Amino acid sequence: VLTQSPATLSLSPGERATLSCRASQNVRSHLAWHQQKPGQAPRLLIYGVSTRATGVPARFSGSGSGTDFTLIISSLQSEDFAVYYCQQYSYAPDTFGQGTKLEIK
């Protein structure tokens, strides 16, 4: 089970966002983050805890290991307000967290 916190994060453009994902068991480095905007499909942001997918801006960074993981957006842009999901792919079946909604304050 993946537990994301907070459920909702209200911040202003330019601020730093810190999103958390906690796994109920050790998933080692097999953790990814996805971004989903309203009415759109999710988009892969980060895999292997900290590797950015192609085209993902450097303001997105991931860290952590084992059971505790963090996604940081260093300086929020208007297009970053969305829902973020973590995904573990260490154990079958792959599972996702319930999401953190990042909204404009």
Partner 1 sequence: EVQLVESGGGLVQPGESLRLSCAASGFIFSSSSMNWLRQTPEKGLEWISYISSGSSTKNYADSVKGRFTTSRDNAKNSLYLQMDSLRAEDTAVYFCAREEGKDGYNYVAHWGQGVLVTVSS
Q: Which residues bind partner 1 (CB under 8 A)?
A: 30, 32, 34, 40-44, 47, 53, 85, 87, 89-90, 92-99
In the bound complex, what is the minimum distance in angstroms from residue 14's beta carbon to partner 1?
Answer: 29
75 close to 16: Cβ distance less than 8 angstroms:
yes
Dist CA 79 CA 71 (whole Å): 16
Q: Which two tokens stand for residue 50?
A: 């900290």
12/40 with CB nearer partner 1: 40
In the bound complex, what is the minimum distance in angstroms from residue 30's beta carbon to partner 1?
Answer: 5
Dist CA 9 CA 29 (whole Å): 25
Dist CA 33 CA 59 (whole Å): 14
22/43 with CB nearer partner 1: 43
In the bound complex, what is the minimum distance in angstroms from residue 53's beta carbon to partner 1?
Answer: 7
